[in-house]
Amino acid sequence: MPLTPDQQAEIDELRAAPRSTLRAVSEGMEAHLYKAIPVLDHGFVRVVDYMGDDAAITQAARVSYGKGTKSVQNDEGLIRYLMRHWHSTPFEMCEAKFHVKLPVFVARQWIRHRTANVNEYSARYSILDREFYIPAAEDLAAQSAVNNQGRGEVLQGEEAARVLDLLRQDSMRAYDHYEEMISQDGQQGLARELARMNLPANIYTQWYWKVDLHNLLHFLRLRADAHAQYEIRVYADAICKVVADWVPFAYKAFEDYRLGSVTLSAQMVDCVKRMLAGEEVTEETCGMSKREWREFRELWAQTTS
Q: Which residues are catalytic?
A: 223
- Residue 96 to residue 176: CA distance in whole angstroms: 37
Reported as type and span, the H/E element at residue 3 is none
Longest Cα–Cα distance in the chain = 81
CB atoms within 10 A of CB 146: 8
Per DSSP, helices labelled H in 149-265 are: 157-182, 192-195, 213-223, 230-246, 248-254
Strand partners, 96: 50, 211
- List phi, psi (to 5°) of 152: -110, -130
Distance of CA 160 to the CA centre of its chain: 27
- Residue 8 to residue 15: CA distance in whole angstroms: 11
Count of helices and strands (H, E) across the chain: 12, 9
